[in-house]
C-alpha cells in the first residue's frame, strides 16, 4: 500500500511536468490521466508554470519534459527510442536525438571518487587531472588526465549518488509496468515489465564501469587485426566500479563533413569504413555498439574510424543473425513468402496466424520502401515498419532486434550526413552476400547438420552413463511403476534377470539414437 501511495504521488508530479511541456499523450494512451488530464492542463496554463514549446513536435516536447525530469528519465527516453511499436515512428525518431547532457558535478567530487575507487591519492595515479570535464551526461562525466607514466587518457567518473536515484526511479517504472499489464490486457503482448527489466539491466551495466571496460575490450579484440576501426585501450590498473580510464583519442566528429574534407579525408571512404564495421559487428561477431550517434564516432587523421562510450552494447546469437539475414535477403529479392516463412520458423509469429495474410503484410511493407531510388532506401525504416505489424499478428516484441533497428536508424542518419546520395547498406552488400552464402547456403546447412550429429555423438557417452545408472537403479530397486506391474516383475524375475534386461535396454536406446542420427544424415543429403 505504501509503495502504491508513494508511486502515485510521484506519478502525479511527473504528470504535471509532462503537462507543463504539453506532453501528456504517453500517459493518456495508457489510460492513467483520463480523470486528471483536464485539471493538469488547467494547472499547466497558470502563469510561470507552462513552458514555451512553440512549434515543437510531440516527440520533441516529450524529450524536453524528460530532460526536466532528470537522468533516469533521459535514459528511459533513449531506451524508448528503440520501441516504435510502443510510441510510434515519429516520436521514436525524436527521442533517438535526445541529448544525454547535464550540468557537470563539482570536480572536487570527481577527484574524491577517483581516489576512493583507485585506493590511492590522485597524485599517485595521475600527473595531471583537468578539473573542467569535457563531457557531462546523466550517469557520468569525463575528465582529461595524464598518467604518472605520461600517457594521455580520458577518465570517466560516475555521478555521486546516481545509483540511489536510479533505484528509486526504476521502482516507479516497474510499478507503472505492473499496472499497465494488470489494467490493459491488450498491451501485455508488448511486455512492459520486460521492457523495464531490460532497461534496468542496461542501467546496471552502465553504472559498473568495469563492465563498460570489458565491452570495449571485447570489441577491440574483435577488430584487433583491422586498422580501419579502432577502440581505445583500457587502463585496467586505473579502472574500478565507478571509474573508467582509457586511452585518449584525437579525431574529427564523423558528422563534420566540411572538416573531414578540409583535412584531406574522403567522406565516401569514411562511409565505406563505417558500413563495413557495422556489418562485421552485427553479422560476423553478433556484438555491436548500440549508441552510434556522432558524439561517439571520430575520424582519425589517417581516415580510420574511432569509437568511444561502450555503455550500451547489443548482442545477437547465431540463430537471430540467420533469421535477420534470411529475412533481409527475402525482402531484397522481393520473396515475401520467404520472409513470412522465416518469421514462422523462428517462432516470432504464432503458428495459428495466417501465413498468407502475413506474407501480404510483408509485401505492403517492402514494396513502397524497396521501390524507392537506391539512395532513399532505409533498411531501418523497413525493419521499423515490419515491427509495426506486431499488433495485427500477435508477434512478441524482440528487444535485441528493436535495439538493432534503433542503431541502424542512427547509423543511416550518420551515413546521409557523409553523403546523402549513397546507401550505406549497398556499400556492404558484397559482404552481406558472402555472409549469406556462407551461413545460409547448402554448405552451411550441411555444416549445421554435421555439427548437430557430432554434438549428439559427443553427448552419447554421458547419455549412456545415465542409462547405465538407470539400469543399476532398476536392477537394485525395481522400476517404480504401478504396484501391480511391480508385483508381476518381482514374481517373474530375479535380480539377475532384471539386470540382464537393463543391459538390453541400453542397446535398444543406443540403436534408437543411432537411427535418429542416420535419419539426420540421409535427410541432409
Residue 140, classified by CB atoms within 10 Å of its CB into exposed (0-12), middle (13-18) or buried (19+), is buried
What is the three-class DSSP state of 372? coil
**Residue 504 near residue 466 (C-beta atoms within 8 A):** no
| Rounded distance between C-alpha atoms, residue 195 and residue 166, angstroms | 16
| Rounded distance between C-alpha atoms, residue 119 and residue 62, angstroms | 42
**Residue 412 near residue 379 (C-beta atoms within 8 A):** yes
Contacts of 472 (CB under 8 A, 6+ apart): 502
Per DSSP, 249 falls in state: -
**Residue 229 near residue 277 (C-beta atoms within 8 A):** yes
Closest listed residue to residue 97, CA positions, set 293, 248, 285: 293
Query: How many Cα atoms sit within 13 Å of 74 on the Cβ side?
Result: 15
Chain centroid to CA 82: 9
**Residue 344 near residue 336 (C-beta atoms within 8 A):** no
Closest listed residue to residue 195, CA positions, set 80, 67, 317, 90: 80
For residue 314, list its beta bridge partners.
Answer: 288
| Rounded distance between C-alpha atoms, residue 193 and residue 197, angstroms | 6
**Residue 259 near residue 300 (C-beta atoms within 8 A):** no
b/e 354-383 (16+ beta carbons within 10 angstroms → b): eeeebbebbbebbeebeeeeeeebbbbbbb
Which residues are catalytically annotated?
Answer: 291
Query: How many Cα atoms sit within 13 Å of 57 on the Cβ side?
Result: 11
Other C-beta atoms lying within 10 Å of the C-beta of residue 525? 6
Amino acid at each position: 500500500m505504501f509503495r502504491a501511495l508513494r508511486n502515485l504521488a510521484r506519478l502525479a508530479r511527473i504528470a504535471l511536468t509532462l503537462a507543463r511541456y504539453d506532453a501528456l499523450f504517453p500517459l493518456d494512451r495508457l489510460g492513467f490521466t483520463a480523470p486528471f488530464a483536464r485539471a493538469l492542463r488547467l494547472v499547466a496554463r497558470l502563469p510561470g508554470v507552462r513552458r514555451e514549446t512553440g512549434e515543437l513536435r510531440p516527440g520533441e516536447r516529450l524529450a524536453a519534459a524528460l530532460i526536466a525530469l532528470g537522468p533516469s528519465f533521459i535514459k528511459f527516453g533513449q531506451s524508448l527510442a528503440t520501441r516504435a511499436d510502443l510510441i510510434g515512428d515519429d516520436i521514436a525518431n525524436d527521442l533517438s536525438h535526445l541529448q544525454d547532457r547535464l550540468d557537470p558535478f563539482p570536480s572536487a567530487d570527481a577527484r574524491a571518487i577517483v581516489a576512493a575507487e583507485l585506493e590511492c591519492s590522485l597524485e599517485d595515479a595521475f600527473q595531471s587531472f583537468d578539473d573542467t570535464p569535457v563531457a557531462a551526461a546523466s550517469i557520468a562525466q569525463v575528465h582529461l588526465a595524464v598518467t604518472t607514466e605520461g600517457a594521455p587518457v580520458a577518465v570517466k567518473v560516475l555521478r555521486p549518488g546516481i545509483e540511489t536515484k536510479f533505484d528509486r526511479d526504476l521502482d516507479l517504472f516497474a510499478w507503472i509496468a505492473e499496472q499497465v499489464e494488470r489494467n490493459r490486457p491488450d498491451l501485455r503482448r508488448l511486455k512492459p515489465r520486460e521492457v523495464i527489466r531490460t532497461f534496468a539491466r542496461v542501467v546496471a551495466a552502465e553504472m559498473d564501469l568495469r563492465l563498460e571496460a570489458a565491452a570495449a575490450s571485447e570489441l577491440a579484440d574483435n577488430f584487433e587485426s583491422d586498422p580501419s576501426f579502432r577502440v581505445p585501450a583500457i587502463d585496467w590498473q586505473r579502472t574500478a566500479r565507478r571509474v573508467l580510464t582509457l586511452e585518449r583519442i584525437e579525431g574529427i566528429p564523423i558528422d563534420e563533413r566540411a572538416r573531414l574534407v578540409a583535412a584531406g579525408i574522403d567522406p565516401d571512404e569514411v562511409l565505406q569504413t563505417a558500413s563495413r564495421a557495422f556489418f562485421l559487428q552485427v553479422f560476423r561477431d553478433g556484438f555491436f555498439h548500440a549508441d552510434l550517434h556522432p558524439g561517439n564516432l571520430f575520424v582519425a587523421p589517417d581516415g580510420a574510424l574511432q569509437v568511444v562510450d561502450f555503455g550500451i552494447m547489443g548482442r545477437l546469437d547465431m540463430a537471430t543473425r540467420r533469421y535477420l539475414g534470411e529475412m533481409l535477403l527475402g525482402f531484397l529479392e522481393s520473396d515475401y513468402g520467404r520472409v513470412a516463412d522465416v518469421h514462422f520458423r523462428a517462432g516470432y509469429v504464432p503458428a495459428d496466424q495466417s501465413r498468407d495474410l502475413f506474407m501480404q503484410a510483408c509485401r505492403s511493407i517492402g514494396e513502397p520502401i524497396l521501390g524507392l531510388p537506391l539512395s532513399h532506401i532505409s533498411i531501418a525504416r523497413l525493419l521499423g515498419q515490419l515491427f509495426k505489424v506486431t499488433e495485427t499478428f500477435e508477434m512478441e516484441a524482440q528487444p535485441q532486434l528493436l535495439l538493432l533497428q534503433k542503431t541502424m536508424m542512427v547509423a543511416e542518419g550518420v551515413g546521409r550526413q557523409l553523403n546523402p546520395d549513397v546507401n550505406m547498406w549497398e556499400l556492404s552488400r558484397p559482404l552481406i552476400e558472402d555472409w549469406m552464402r556462407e551461413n545460409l547456403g547448402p554448405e552451411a546447412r550441411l555444416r549445421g547438420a554435421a555439427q548437430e550429429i557430432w554434438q549428439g555423438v559427443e553427448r552419447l557417452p554421458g547419455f549412456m552413463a545415465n542409462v547405465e545408472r538407470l539400469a543399476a537403479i532398476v536392477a537394485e530397486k525395481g522400476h517404480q511403476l504401478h504396484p501391480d506391474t511391480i508385483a508381476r516383475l518381482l514374481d517373474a524375475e530375479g535380480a539377475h534377470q532384471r539386470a540382464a534386461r537393463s543391459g538390453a535396454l541400453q542397446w535398444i536406446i543406443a540403436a534408437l539414437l543411432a537411427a535418429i542420427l542416420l535419419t539426420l544424415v540421409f535427410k541432409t543429403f
